[in-house]
């Protein structure tokens, strides 16, 4: 049994592995009569694993990803049309390094948000920083800033992450200032960092979300210049599940 002093000393030096994990490692190394080199290698491995886990936990919390259905439960046979090959290519995350954007487009309830969340989760597992938010929440957050310095500080929340996911463009109308704020975010990320948007609208309809805003054309141009589009043609999952529940009740 390792001396409590050894475990306490390692923790005092900043080793983040749990006392139980350290005791188990020391016991195993003692039993196998490991060399000094092996002891240090195992300690480094244990500590790196612990730090990676904590780093992932912190980035997941910051990402505000929320609960989502794992990809192994996504029914690829449900949509009438979807480019599964393109999506699986996106999961390899090459688009992040190239600073390319992704657009998930389809009517409400077809899985756009779920696929965007799964893509963001893959980025988190690969060590990337992510922020997931609805477009309405992001614009409301930015609009609340009462000074230019405060706005600049808050913009960094959306412009500095490796992957920004803006969910539900087109579900709520926005004013002209909101259009300017979104343009600011997209232009600062342009060709530098990847942005994912989910929407039920074609590009030519984005102007209906920001009526009268002069920057919509420039916004679309910048976002669409380097963008992979995943179109989903399907009936609503929610409508399908509601119908199935209704049928079961009748039976």
Neighbours of 199 (CB within 10 A): 21
| Strand, coil or helix: 220 | helix
How high is the pLDDT of residue 52? 72
- pLDDT band (50, 70, 90) for residue 13: confident
Average pLDDT over residues 41-58: 81
H or E element in which residue 6 lies:
helix 4-12
- List 194's β-bridge partners, or say none: 163
pLDDT, averaged across the chain = 90
Domain ranges across the chain: 4-61, 71-239
- pLDDT band (50, 70, 90) for residue 14: confident
- Of all residues in the chain, the percent with pLDDT exceeding 70 is 92
How high is the pLDDT of residue 243? 55
Backbone φ and ψ of 146, nearest 5°? -95, -5
Q: Using the predicted structure, report yes or no on whether residue 251 has a pLDDT greater than 90.
A: no
* pLDDT tens digit sequence for 86-139: 999 999 999 999 999 999 999 998 999 999 999 999 999 999 999 999 999 999
CA within 13 Å, CB half, 202: 1
- pLDDT band (50, 70, 90) for residue 163: very high
How high is the pLDDT of residue 48? 82
The CATH classification number of 71-239 equals: 3.40.50.300
Is the Cα torsion angle 219, 179, 193, 68 positive or negative in sign?
Answer: negative
Pick the closest to residue 189 from 129, 125, 118, 230 (CA basis). Answer: 129
Average pLDDT over residues 50-64: 75
- pLDDT band (50, 70, 90) for residue 53: confident
């Amino acid at each position: 049994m390792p001396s409590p002093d050894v475990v306490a000393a390692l923790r005092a030096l900043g080793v983040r592995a749990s006392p139980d994990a350290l005791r188990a490692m020391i016991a195993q190394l003692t039993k196998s009569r490991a060399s000094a080199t092996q002891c240090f290698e195992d300690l480094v491995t244990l500590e790196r694993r612990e730090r990676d886990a904590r780093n992932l936990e912190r980035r997941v919390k910051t990402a505000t990803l929320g609960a989502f259905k794992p990809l192994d439960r996504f029914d690829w046979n449900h949509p009438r049309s979807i480019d599964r090959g393109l999506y699986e290519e996106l999961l390899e995350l090459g688009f992040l390094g190239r600073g390319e954007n992704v657009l998930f487009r389809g009517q409400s309830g077809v899985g756009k948000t779920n696929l965007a969340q799964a893509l963001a989760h893959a980025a988190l597992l690969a060590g990337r920083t992510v922020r997931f938010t609805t477009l309405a929440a992001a614009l409301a957050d930015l609009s609340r800033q009462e000074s230019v310095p405060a706005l600049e500080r808050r913009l960094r929340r959306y412009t500095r992450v490796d992957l920004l996911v803006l969910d539900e463009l087109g579900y709520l109308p926005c004013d002209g200032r909101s259009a300017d704020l979104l343009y600011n975010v997209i232009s600062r990320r342009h060709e530098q960092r990847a942005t994912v948007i989910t929407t039920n609208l074609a590009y030519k309809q984005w102007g209906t979300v920001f009526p009268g805003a002069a920057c919509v054309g420039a916004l679309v141009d910048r976002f669409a210049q380097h963008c992979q589009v995943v179109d989903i043609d399907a009936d609503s999952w929610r409508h399908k599940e509601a119908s199935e529940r209704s049928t079961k009740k009748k039976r």
